[in-house]
Amino acid sequence: MSAPRERAAARWYDAEAGPLVRPYAMTGGRTRPGAAGVPLDLIALVAAVDTGPGPGEDSLLGPEHRALLSLCAAGVQSVAELAADADLPVGVVRVLVGDLLQAGHVQVSRPVPPARLPDERILREVIDGLRAL
Amino acid sequence: MAVDSTPRTDPDSALALKILVAGGFGAGKTTLVGAVSEIRPLRTEEQLTEAGAGIDDTGGVSRKTTTTVAMDFGRITIRSGLSLYLFGTPGQDRFWFLWDELAHGALGAVVLADTRRLADCFAAVDYFEHRRIPFVVAVNCFPGARSFGAHEVSRALDLDRGTPVVLCDARDRDSGKEVLVRLVEYAGRMHAARMLDSVG
């Protein structure tokens, strides 16, 4: 009986334990985007502007920045998708995308969605699109 | 268009719409998102900061409580550049303060109801009514639960007149799609009515 327990004790830091790096260590302790910072909505769309800096360039970018850039390079991604795919909390992704935006590596559309509804033509398109699925 | 040098990935031409899926714990939110989403439902975590009751004057630091909540979301691509994102909101009522952030700019909401525990969705109904966010109540017809008509559910929830109540099976893709169609139609009607109000 004791063997499995010992094994479990030795491996307490499995996936269930969560990441060993505190999330906001990746942002240098920042919980809000920098000066150009806008509060990014979950559905704000992020597109890569360029292929990003080469491996030697721009040492300000950490591995998480680069991971997000490569996700965006594959196509426009929402903040929510970036967070899920990079396995990072949304708050961290907001800060990191803010950095990328400031450095000119990405473009963000509708950081905050307009409060009014889209026009009728769009709604019609959504309804027809849903029916056709 | 010939002079348009915008790259194809230009996010400005892309439109993303947000639909919230609310309801009590176990009402089928994740199931509904999974049934209609074209991608495997993704899980993300949102860190919420709720301002504390008091402010520490001496330190000038406000006391805040941070909570991490999980959210499920899925995506439906209508066409290139037009996508629908569905977010399953946290089940517990105590996270109601999250909804403001989530609900901002939302096209509308689906409130999933379980007739065995109808009271569980009161908080969501109240919230969307107060914020005037278009919503439909989708009654998830669980096997074994007594079936109620849409009208009975509407009365039991004391819904505003016109709020659609749809019977559905959250596990079924077509049923889930129908719920979304009803929501978007209703959102369009509400929008048109408000436009008339504002000019009249």
Q: Which of B15, B75, B177 has the CB atom closest to A133's CB atom?
A: B177
- Contact residues, chain B to chain A, C-beta under 8 Å: 7, 9-12, 14-18, 42-47, 68, 71, 73, 75-76, 78-79, 82-85, 87, 102, 104-107, 177, 180-181, 184-185, 187-188, 191-192
The DSSP 8-state label assigned to residue B186 in this structure reads H
The pLDDT of residue B50: 59
Assign a CATH topology to domain B13-199.
Rossmann fold (3.40.50)
How far apart CA A66 and CA A133 sit, in angstroms, is 35
What token pair was written down for B96? Answer: 């109601």
Q: Where are the domains of chain A?
A: 2-132
Q: Select from A74, A78, A101 the least CA-distant residue to B17.
A: A78
The pLDDT of residue B90: 64
The answer on pLDDT for B200 being more than 50 is yes
β-pair type (A77-78, B61-79): unpaired
Cβ atoms of A89 and A79 closer than 8 Å: no
| Coil vs helix vs strand at A107 | strand
The pLDDT of residue B44: 75
- The pLDDT tens digits of the residues spanning B51-94 come to 544 444 444 445 556 666 778 899 999 999 999 999 987 666 66
Q: Select from B192, B141, B133, B143 the least CA-distant residue to B163.
A: B133
The answer on pLDDT for A24 being more than 60 is yes
The residue among A118 and B44 whose pLDDT is bigger is A118
pLDDT band at B109 (very low <50, low <70, confident <90, very high): very high
> Is this complex's ipTM strictly greater than 0.90?
no
The residue among A36 and A63 whose pLDDT is bigger is A63
The answer on pLDDT for B164 being more than 90 is yes
Cβ atoms of B90 and B28 closer than 8 Å: no
How far apart CA B188 and CA A121 sit, in angstroms, is 10
The answer on pLDDT for A104 being more than 80 is yes
